[in-house]
Amino acid sequence: MQKKIKVLLIEDDYDAAGQVAQYLESVGFEIDISETAIDGLLKLSAQQYDILLLDLSLPDFSGFEVIKQINNQSSIPIIVLSCHSNLEAKVQAFRFGVDDYLCKPFMLEELEVRMWAILKRCSMIKMEFNKNNLAIDYNNQTILLNQKPVSLTAIEYKILSFLIENKNRVVYRNVLAIHLSSLSSPQSLNYHIQNIRKKLGDDPKKPRYIMTEYGTGYRLVL
């Protein structure tokens, strides 16, 4: 069973935190919530998290101070979730060392995609070979099937690697569309999935790897 990615959300807006937590849990993340900077820092010192989602406007002290303290003791990737959309706030956050900055309001699907991108860059996701022998070689940007590289186009690699990262759960078509900025049209996704199945030796009528969840998206079974 794949280990869940553990997320800490420091957000004082109860409703906003609940919406983020509900969505991330529905797509397979494990999430804890802190409503204050102090509680968040205590959680970070007591537990191991894979990624931090941080609001800058907290009731006890500034999110920038939280970032400063975290950077002194941890290398956890940080995504800022902020209502401050001005350039000055963004530049300051990146200078403090955050990995991404998302302005409120935002689409939850976009947050999920950005989280996966950062986790991949930070090598937090370690794909292991399994009974179906399908895995990602991030160093060489290839997919391995039975320990041999599969010949894929750039967009096919992005689709398949994203499905593997989200293995055994439904990936919605709109989430894939956000992830694939080079997708020419939503309909072209069907064409790319068909090609990937062929290259994996998958029978579209009885697929072994990529299942179609009709009206929803796709699920890669490993």
pLDDT tens for residues 7-46?
Answer: 999 999 999 999 999 999 998 899 999 999 999 999 988 8
pLDDT at 136: 79
> What average pLDDT does the segment 153-161 reach?
88
Contact 196, 152 (CB under 8 A): yes
pLDDT at 130: 46
**C-alpha to C-alpha distance for 145 and 196, rounded to whole angstroms:** 12
Tally the C-alpha atoms within 13 A of residue 171's C-alpha that lie toward its C-beta.
28
54 pLDDT exceeds 60?
yes
Q: What is the spatial order of strands in the sheet that 217-220 belongs to?
A: 170-172, 217-220, 210-213
Q: What is the mean pLDDT of the chain?
A: 85
Q: How far, CA to CA in Å, does 113 sit from each of 37, 59, 139?
A: 25, 29, 20
Query: Which residue segments constitute the domains of the chain, with CATH numbers given?
Result: 6-121 (3.40.50.2300), 134-220 (1.10.10.10)
Give 83-93 pLDDT, tens digit per residue: 988 898 899 99
56-61 contacts: CB < 8 A, separation 24 or more? 56/80, 56/82, 56/84, 56/89, 56/93, 57/12, 57/82, 57/83, 57/84, 58/10, 58/12, 59/12, 59/35, 60/36, 61/37
Tokens at residue 114, please? 């950005």
**C-alpha to C-alpha distance for 41 and 181, rounded to whole angstroms:** 35
| Band (137; pLDDT cuts 50, 70, 90) | confident
> What average pLDDT does the segment 178-198 reach?
81
> What average pLDDT does the segment 53-80 reach?
88
95 pLDDT exceeds 80?
yes
Name residues whose C-beta falls within 8 Å of residue 1's C-beta, 6 or more positions apart in sequence. none
Read off the pTM: 0.62
User: To which H or E segment does residue 53 belong?
Assistant: strand 51-55
